[in-house]
Structure formats: C-alpha cells, structure tokens
Amino acid sequence: MISKRIKIIIPILVICCLLLVVYFWIGIYQSKESGSAKSVTFSIQRGEGSREIALNLEKVGLIKWESSFRVYVYFKGVAGKLQAGDYQISPSMNIPEMVNKFVNGDVIKEKITFPEGFNLKEIKKSFESSEFLQTIDLEKLKIIDFKDEFDFLNDLPDEASLEGFLFPDTYFFESDMKEREIAEIFLNNFEKKLTPYRPAFSGTDAGLTLFNVIKMASLIEKEVITYEDKEIVSGIFWKRLKSGKPLQSCATVAYILNTTKRQYSFEETRIVSPYNTYLNLGLPSGPICNPGLESILAALYPEASEYWYFLSTPEGKTIFSKTFEEHNIAKAKYLR
C-alpha cells in the first residue's frame, strides 16, 4: 500500500514538474516584449559560451531568464555552435528565433554601394560615412598582399595599390570586418566579373595586359558616359599610344589634383607626376579609379575611327574631332 505521505508527495511533484515546464516554456517561447518594434545591437565576443551569452541577453533585457536560454541550447545541442558577431535583436523575438540567428551567423551586414569611377579616397569616404566601418582604409593595402590568393594579380607590380581592382558594386559587409577581408570581397567580385574575358588579355596585342587594360578603362570611365562613346574614346587613346602621342587626358590631372573642373589651366597640365598624361607618354603609372565592366570592355574592344580628339560638353555630350584645328573650334564653341 502506498503510504499517505507518498500520496501527498506525488501530486506535489507532478505540480512542481508542471510548473517547471510552464516556467521554461514561457521563458523560451514567449518573447520578453511581444509586439515591440525596438531592436538593439547584441554582440557575441569570440570565446564566449552559452552561459555568458545568456547572462548578457538577460542583462540587456532581451530575454526573461538566462536559465531558459541555457536549457534550450543544451537540449537542442547547439551550445557550442553560437557564432561570434554583432546581431540585430529585438525583445519581440523568442529564444528559438535568437538562437537560430546565432547558430546561422546571421550577423548585421551593412549595405554600401560604390559607383563606377570611385577611387580609393572616395571609397574611404564611403566607409567613413558608414555605421560600423568608419575606420576602414584600403589605401594601406598593396597588390603584393594578395598575389598568393588571386593569380590574376601575378603580373602586376608588387608595390601597386588596389586602385582599379575594387570592382564597383553594392556590397554587404559584416560590422566587424577588417581591411583585408573587405578587399578580398572586392577582388573576388572583380575576378568573377572578368573571368569570361580573361582570354582577351595578352592576346594578339601585347599592350592588352590586365594592368594596362584597367589603366585605360579607368581613364575611359572618367572621360565619357555612354558605352558607344567609351568604345570610340578607347580607339582614340590606343591609337595615340601606338603613334607616340601623349594621351592628354584631363581625368589624370583631376586625379592628381583630387578635384573636378570643366577645364584645367596650362600650369595645371604641367604638374610633375607619373599620372600626368600631358607631360608623359604612355599610360599613367596606375589606374586613376575603379572602372565598371562597360569601361573595361571598351578598353578591351576599342572601336576604330578617324578621330584623334574629343571633349565633353557641360551636358555630357561627347564631341569628336579628326584634326587639332577641329578640336580647337569645338573647345571654343562648347567650353567657353
């Protein structure tokens, strides 16, 4: 026979177990603030375990009880799979929703768009205006830092910067990323976009090396707008190079001065710099911006024409000329 004491204890134990189940069910599956529109940045540091994470979640008011979090991750078998990083978390989320983010590494990612033609200084300013990545400076990196990882860089000068190879696009960066990780994302995108056209580099024309094409594309990017004009300008520039004429690209003067003007004075075109295509024959010593795919393709596939000169009107229209005299007439008509 079951004693009276046991008959009393059993119901109490059952009630306690039920209360415990309810306690953990509420802590796990009910959010701290149902319907809340508030969200906070919650950080998991490298090396933190489920206990530290649970305590921090409770401390900032994202969960009811830290014990609920620890019980849940233990029985789910994911206590060792919670990834470090910064997460956007709301008190309207329950513990399974939070844990799902932590296990999948669904960290905060900042969306930044870099237009065609941005140079390293402009890219740096974009990062300075971002929420999490204000200190990123890709100017400090060199080509040699990535040659082991990207074989398309092997023929480039070791000391060259990444100017020209940070492919313009919209990117999503994690909030704790460093310069090298970010540069690798740019370079991977560059490699992906250029892979179909790599056979064209170093083909029948010895001048069509990757470095020369990107230099040329960077000039074209800053000079004209439409793809049709880019093809013609590419033909003019390559023709001038082969004939031993200076390119005389105002875009290179703008790059040296870090400014943009409709016209540059004679004195400004005399600035001593390896980028000055008025003083020096050939291409500049490096790209002057990060060109888009259209400009790169125009540099690869120039269009032959009778033109030797061109200018852009204030409205962005390109005026082509066959002779220097025609070019001077166009300058007087459109740029005065």
Handedness of CA 182, 184, 187, 193 (dihedral sign): negative
Can you list the domains of the chain with their CATH numbers? 27-104 (3.30.1490.480), 111-196 (no CATH), 200-334 (no CATH)
Concatenated DSSP letters for 227-259?
HHHHHHHHHHHHHHHHTT-----HHHHHHHHT-
pLDDT of residue 168: 97
User: Taking phi first (over 0 means left), then psi (-120 to 50 degrees means alpha), and beta for anything else, what does residue 29 get?
Assistant: alpha
Residue 113 φ/ψ, nearest 5 degrees: -105, 130
Look up residue 300 and give its amino acid.
L
pLDDT in tens, the chain (336 residues): 456 666 566 666 666 666 565 555 676 778 878 777 788 889 998 889 999 999 999 998 898 889 889 988 898 899 889 999 889 898 899 989 999 999 988 888 889 999 999 999 999 999 999 988 999 999 999 999 999 999 999 989 999 999 999 999 999 998 888 999 999 999 999 999 999 988 887 655 657 889 999 999 999 999 999 999 999 999 999 999 999 999 999 999 999 998 887 788 889 889 999 999 999 999 999 999 999 999 999 999 999 999 999 989 888 899 989 999 999 998 888 887
Q: What is the CA radius of gyration of the chain?
A: 31
> What distances in angstroms separate CA 259 from CA 164, 256, 262, 279, one per listed residue?
18, 8, 10, 19
State the pairing for strand pair 309-312/318-321.
antiparallel
Q: Tokens at residue 120, please?
A: 């390293």
How many angstroms from the chain centroid is the CA of residue 98?
Answer: 28
The tokens 């990062």 sit on which residue?
127
- Report d(CA 331, CA 188) in Å as an integer: 42
**What residues are paired with 310 via a beta bridge?**
320
pLDDT of residue 6: 67
The tokens 């929420």 sit on which residue?
131
